[in-house]
Amino acid sequence: MKTKKELINSWIDKAEKDLRSAKHELSFPDVVTETVCFHCQQAAEKYLKAYLAFLGLSFTKTHEIGELITKCENKDREISVLKEEGDKLTDYAIEIRYPEEWFEPTLEEAKEAFEIAKKIKEFVLNKIAFTGD
């Protein structure tokens, strides 16, 4: 069983990989915007789950960014500033991946998703401070 610190670091590591994938995709001239948006949503979700673990709060399996932020608000009201913007990423978790609900985000939307994910990353990493196990 992982320690709390190992679990948090695992979530952060996964989030970093998603954000790196989005950044790499944005560097191509023929950027696949739905891929960027999906990885940004995934990164934000994983950073928030790392923060929830840090705060000692449980969570269910969900892709709803607003719901995750609401759970964080139980112990940190400052995170509220990210809710409206962060919730924009929620649609990129599932709907964007299937043809029934398919839509292709614009390059501007993909860039916005990347900036939102980076804001969530910065917030979470600034809040998490380990003083030991």
Q: All domains of the chain, ordered by start, with CATH?
A: 4-127 (1.20.120.330)
Task: Give pTM, 2 decimals.
Answer: 0.92
Query: pLDDT class for 113, splitting at 50, 70, 90?
Result: very high
pLDDT at 97 (0 to 100): 66
What is the spatial distance between Cα 49 and Cα 4, in angstroms, rounded to a whole number? 12
What is the spatial distance between Cα 55 and Cα 76, in angstroms, rounded to a whole number? 9
Q: What number is the average pLDDT over the span 56-85?
A: 94
pLDDT at 71 (0 to 100): 96
